[in-house]
Amino acid sequence: MDYGRFFEDAVAAIRNEGRYRVFADLERQAGRFPFAHHHTPRGRREVVVWCSNDYLGMGQHPATREAAVDAVMRLGTGAGGTRNISGTNHLHVMLEEELADLHGKQAALVFTSGYIANEATLSTVAKLLPDCVILSDSMNHASMIEGIRMSRCPKQVFRHNDLEHLESLLQALPRDRAKLIAFESVYSMDGDIGEIEAICDLADRYGAMTYLDEVHAVGLYGPRGGGVAEQRGLMDRLTIIQGTLAKAYGCMGGYITASSAIVDAVRSTAPGFIFTTSLAPAICAAATASVRHLKVSQTERTKHQERAATVKRRLKAVGLPVMDNPSHIVPVLVGDPVRCKQATDLLMERHGIYIQPINYPTVARGTERLRITPTPVHDDRLVDHLTEALLDVWQTLDLHRTQPTAIAAE
Ligand SMILES: *Cc1c(COP(=O)(O)O)cnc(C)c1O
């Protein structure tokens, strides 16, 4: 077999579909976010980043930067081992205490990423339970889908946020069979929000555990940044709450919070937790500082919501097809992978605006879009600039302006 040829053809097929991935070579500038340097073959240029998940700019906050620098100077760079073999640092323990407190749970467990937290926890918890069935929202993130697959448990997918469908699936299962419902709060690509309370009601009625991914909500919602479940007073009704330290908290790493028994079980059995070096102490220190800061400060959250609402209002006012939702995410529908890429290339070349095109498999085919994430540091001048640039691109490429009503999902 000509292996080289095989992979060249595989990539060519992806190119032909218009979904070849080009990574923007960026150099972030602490203190100057949302500006960054963009490195290209023609040199370096300053651009405005409009698609970062550093939703609040905590990655450049003095508290997080100072905590990281201080930890590097005191403890050095790497953790030096897995959690079990010399890699548990006091900073890991403190971070886990902070996170358990954030969600009002008995315990927390930190992983090297939110992806691993989902994969390792879902696969282990479901595997430990005898004969468990997993009920999974159809729009769940790839990391949850992978964890569910690795558990080798039967999976039943319910239509996105469809309570009747979920209930009909639950009804058909024996009352005493183990069940786990996995879903998200803020869905990252459409920006809609899960029916947390109603799903918890169903879980209680049919005897199911609940697993909530709050990755796009922690730090951003709730009086202490505990997410949508905190905002709605529902944290105690969820069996497991999962989050990331890499988005609103501006660092890296993922976690779960739950009862001590569940955390202990995952800690003792999940390969994705056990067999990997723990997070660097400096990351733990920065994340702890970030979580602590956002537990007491409302400034960033308030400004973030105001900015997101402003961008949505401005883009809609000029007739751009903003996909409506109740969260901070601003998706603008293009509906074609090639044109989506052209639009973002034009934004970068003509206007110095960086927005990554979102294509399949991240979203369903036909729903390709720009996913805009305003932050507290995108001021009015930058919003004006964005609005004019998008209008120019929409005119140049003759893109459609129909206001999307419902989002077509596979
Ligand atoms: C980004 C993301 C994750 C993974 O989190 P990382 O910390 O980036 O690995 C998990 N779930 C959802 C919904 C996400 O969008």
The string of DSSP letters for 108-173 reads: EEEES-HHHHHHHHHHHHHHHSTT-EEEEETT--HHHHHHHHHHT--EEEEPTT-HHHHHHHHHTS
Residue 141 Cβ inside 6 Å of ligand 1? The answer reads: yes
Q: SS3 for 174?
A: coil
How many CB atoms within 10 Å of residue 329?
A: 23
Closest approach atom of ligand 1 to CA 140? 13
Q: In testing the pocket of ligand 1, which one of 187, 192, 211, 215 has its CB within 8 Å of the most ligand atoms?
A: 215
Residue 371 Cβ inside 6 Å of ligand 1? The answer reads: no
Q: What is the pLDDT of residue 410?
A: 34
Q: 110-136 burial string, b = 16+ CB within 10 Å, else e?
A: bbbbbbbbbbbbbbbbbebbeebbbbb
According to DSSP H, which parts of 270-298 are helical?
A: 271-274, 281-296
Query: Please, are residues 261 and 129 in contact by the beta-carbon 8 Å criterion?
Result: no
- What does the alpha-carbon distance between residue 193 and residue 107 come to, in Å, rounded to a whole number? 26
Nearest CA, atom 15, ligand 1: 188
Cα(115) to ligand 1 centroid in Å equals 5
Query: Please, are residues 42 and 12 in contact by the beta-carbon 8 Å criterion?
Result: no
Residue 118 Cβ inside 6 Å of ligand 1? The answer reads: yes
Quote the pTM value: 0.96
Instruction: pLDDT tens for the chain, 410 residues: list them.
Output: 999 999 999 999 999 987 888 899 999 999 999 999 999 999 999 999 999 999 999 999 999 999 999 999 999 999 999 999 999 999 999 999 999 999 999 999 999 999 999 999 999 999 999 999 999 999 999 999 999 999 999 999 999 999 999 999 999 999 999 999 999 999 999 999 999 999 999 999 999 999 999 999 999 999 999 999 999 999 999 999 999 999 999 999 999 999 999 999 999 999 999 999 999 999 999 999 999 999 999 999 999 999 999 999 999 999 999 999 999 999 999 999 999 999 999 999 999 999 999 998 899 999 999 999 999 999 999 999 999 999 999 999 999 887 776 554 43
Residue 287 Cβ inside 6 Å of ligand 1? The answer reads: no
Cα(250) to ligand 1 centroid in Å equals 13
Q: In testing the pocket of ligand 1, which one of 110, 184, 188 has its CB within 8 Å of the most ligand atoms?
A: 188
Which residue among the candidates 127, 155, 179, 247 is catalytic per the annotation?
247
Q: What is the pLDDT of residue 243?
A: 98
Residue 221 Cβ inside 6 Å of ligand 1? The answer reads: no
Q: In testing the pocket of ligand 1, which one of 115, 146, 211 has its CB within 8 Å of the most ligand atoms?
A: 115
Q: What is the pLDDT of residue 405?
A: 62
Q: What is the pLDDT of residue 241?
A: 99
Strands of 310-366, DSSP E: 330-333, 353-354, 357-358
Q: Which residues make Cβ contacts (< 8 Å) with residue 255, sequence separation at least 6?
A: 96, 99, 108, 109, 110, 111, 114, 117, 242, 243, 244, 245
Q: What is the pLDDT of residue 404?
A: 76
First to last CA, the chain: 35
Q: What is the pLDDT of residue 246?
A: 98
247 given a catalytic annotation: yes
Cα(146) to ligand 1 centroid in Å equals 12
Q: What is the pLDDT of residue 47?
A: 98
- What does the alpha-carbon distance between residue 255 and residue 218 come to, in Å, rounded to a whole number? 11
Q: What is the pLDDT of residue 408?
A: 44
Strands of 223-306, DSSP E: 240-244, 254-258
